[in-house]
Amino acid sequence: MDLAELQEIGEKQRTDRPSIRVRCCTAAGCLSSKSDAIKKSLDTAVKEAGLEKEVEVCSVGCMKFCGRGPLVEVDPVGKIYEMVTPENAPSIISAIKGGKATAIELDRNHPFFTRQKPIVLENIGKIDPEQIEEYIGVGGYQQLYQVINDLPPAEVIEEITKSGLRGRGGAGYPTGLKWATVAKMPPGQKYVVCNADEGDPGAFMDRAVLESDPHRVLEGMAIAGYAIGASEGFIYVRAEYPLAIERLETAIKQAKKYGILGSQIFESTFDFKINIRIGAGAFVCGEETALISSIEGGRGNPRPRPPYPAQEGLWGCPTLINNVETFANIAAILREGAEWYASIGTEKSKGTKVFALTGKVNNNGLIEVPMGITLREIVEEMGGGIPGGEVKAVQTGGPSGGCIPASLLDTTVDYESLARVGSMMGSGGMVVMDGATSMVEVARFYMEFCRGETCGKCVPCRAGTVQMYHTLTKLLKGEATETDLERLKAMCDMVKNTSLCGLGQSAPNPVISTLRYFPEEYLSLLKKESLNGKVAVSS
Amino acid sequence: MQSTEAKTKPKAAKENSKEHPSGDKRLKVLDITMKRAQYRQDALIEVLHKAQESFGFLEEDVLIYVARKLKLPLSRVYGVATFYHLFSLKPSGAHSCVVCLGTACYVKGSGAVLEALENHTGIHQGETTSDGQMSLMTARCLGACGIAPAVVYDGTVAGRQTADEAIEKVKDWLGNH
């Protein structure tokens, strides 16, 4: 297949379909609210009205405003309906021909939508994730074709480096540099791994991308494979995401059929095949060395670095590991150019970031915002604030991150600013908390999580998280003394500085950040007699 | 034990036959999975997933069977089976109820839902009722945060659950509770 044929498939896809498309969200969130029944009901209504030639009902991935789901959008009429039920679905079809829809219409000009800058999410909710032709129809796989035919690997890496893209898994390592490191390793067996083990509680960005636009990730991985000289890739997905796994399998099968994946891609000499590996529920497998060990069929135990996976990864071969969102950015960067991408965001954090905005916030769902936006803009404008109250804190970065108090809501969202206030970008979970939330309770919640998820290989993490959990429980029961509090702080230091991998090194973060911003909550929980009337803590 | 039976399978039995020599169709499913993976040792997790899917849980015999077939030490197979949360070495109930304890669900009250379920059923998370009717479990995060708090009843996710709703849903599953 050449470029003309690829474009023809896309063109055919665009012209052959009915002019009006009714899109029904069938991603996990809406699906659990029976959106498959809505799709059926819409289909029936179209048939009954005899509109098959003009109206097409299609199921698409996430339409972002999950909190108001199930969502149905009528295109190009431009209407989005929220909280649709199978009963009021037919009225949406009759509304196309001048009737009145019983479903509530969602305001398209809501800041939740208008403040977004979709790059990773550009196709999400617009295309059918189970049809490769739809992805090709929006220009998909053209970048892969072009790099294979026109761009030497070194130039692909150069372009990614110039774009300033940093790893979206959380740590923010420069992507171009990572690619260059693996590319520089001696030729031979190399691997590309996509980390889709989204374990952060409160985050569902990767899930949404995989369920709604899987081909985008495959294209990014294939481009990476070409750039670093790898012929095989693995996607490590959580078993908790069955729909994502199913859609990825479909996508790989379709791409193979078109000769876009497999051997001699686009009739070139480049081979690239992608395998899916399913996790089995272990948060630590998000850590790259643990993930490698899990792909190899072992326990997800991390190992010390160096050697880094870029040097010695899967089965001892150089391995490139990037997160889902990182791969999802690649095709767009190559299409629009590195300068374009670098013009978005801040000086050190380029581009956009996808967040899962959830918790006690009016509008929850998936957002993609340019770096440099403030937390206040996200929580108060896009999120619409808290129902009947005020924001107390925003938790970012999951168990590896921290709680940012309301007084720091003007902090901009970029890798450095978030780290400065004691949190981190993380993979992109953003949980809003209100006045009713006890921060010590939240710290204990995360410690309970880490305690259960530690792989147990190194002592500081295995024993430290358990001890910290017990101390926090003691505090909450009102049985702790000043000494316990001091010990808790000492343990934070110890676990942070002596653990083997990222899980342990970041496990104390929720405690450290709540101690820093909400010391009074800890103090008020101390046993009264231990205080002796003096303020003991200065954090 | 199945593993020895497998070795002494009659020559007449074809690979494609629907019956496993042991007469257990579930082992046949497992054999197909392992064969497709070319008995590669790194396919262990995938094989265990399949085993759990067919048997409901990973009983010792199955672990031994998999270890022999993949030529892995049993300690390695056991080590992997016990490391991952999704693998269970104990039989689970006829019905399952999984409460999501992700941060979003937690701040929206999934803790209370779990507590109500524990009180109602008399079992703790991770346990199965004595009549084997229902297992109560928790999940780290389902990634369905938009509809928090979420609970999965027999594989079907339900959003915005309250304690009362959850109890209502599991009531029918319970025998004499």
Q: Contact at 8 Å (CB) between A488 and A471?
A: yes
What stretch of H or E contains A490? helix A482-498
Give the pLDDT band (50/70/90) at residue A427.
Answer: confident
How distant is the alpha carbon of residue A429 from its chain centre? 8
Chain B residues interacting with chain A (CB cutoff of 8 angstroms): 40-46, 48-49, 76, 79-80, 83-87, 101-104, 106-108, 139-148, 150, 156-159
Q: Given this model, what pLDDT does residue A184 score?
A: 97
Q: Given this model, what pLDDT does residue B16 score?
A: 53
Here the tokens at position A22 are 């009714």
Tell how strand A429-434 and strand B127-128 pair up.
unpaired
Q: Which has the minimum average pLDDT: A193-207, A231-245, A480-494, B10-24? A: B10-24
Mean of pLDDT over chain A? 93
Nearest to B102 among A201, A297, A300 (CB): A201
What is the rounded average pLDDT of the residues A358-386? 95
What stretch of H or E contains A234? strand A232-237
Cα–Cα distance measured from residue A177 to residue A173, given in angstroms and rounded to the nearest whole number = 8
- Residue B175 predicted with pLDDT over 80: no
Using alpha carbons, select from A367, A418, A377, A375 the residue that is nearest to residue A397.
A418
Chain B residues near residue A444 by CB distance under 8 angstroms: none
- Residue A84 predicted with pLDDT over 70: yes
Any chain B CB within 8 A of the CB of A241?
yes
- Residue A426 predicted with pLDDT over 90: no
Q: Contact at 8 Å (CB) between B48 and B58?
A: yes
Chain B residues near residue A449 by CB distance under 8 angstroms: 140
- Residue B3 predicted with pLDDT over 70: no
Higher-scoring residue by pLDDT: A28, A517: A517
Give the pLDDT band (50/70/90) at residue A33.
Answer: confident
Q: Given this model, what pLDDT does residue B13 score?
A: 46
Q: Contact at 8 Å (CB) between A256 and A233?
A: no
Chain A residues near residue B86 by CB distance under 8 angstroms: 239-240, 280-281
Q: Contact at 8 Å (CB) between B63 and B101?
A: no
Any chain B CB within 8 A of the CB of A29?
yes
Q: Given this model, what pLDDT does residue A531 score?
A: 56
What is the rounded average pLDDT of the residues A159-187? 95
What is the rounded average pLDDT of the residues B152-177? 88
- Residue B50 predicted with pLDDT over 60: yes
Q: What is the dihedral of CA A88, A93, A97, A103, to 10 degrees?
A: 30
Length, in residues, of chain B? 177
Cα–Cα distance measured from residue A293 to residue A135, given in angstroms and rounded to the nearest whole number = 33
Query: What ipTM was predicted for this assembly?
Result: 0.90
Give the pLDDT band (50/70/90) at residue A532.
Answer: low
Taking CB atoms within 8 Å and a gap of at least 24, the contacts of A485-490 are A485/A522, A485/A526, A485/A536, A485/A537, A488/A515, A489/A515, A489/A539
DSSP-derived 3-state class of residue A131: coil
Q: Given this model, what pLDDT does residue B124 score?
A: 94
* Contact assignment for A207 to B80 by CB distance below 8 Å: no
- Residue B9 predicted with pLDDT over 70: no
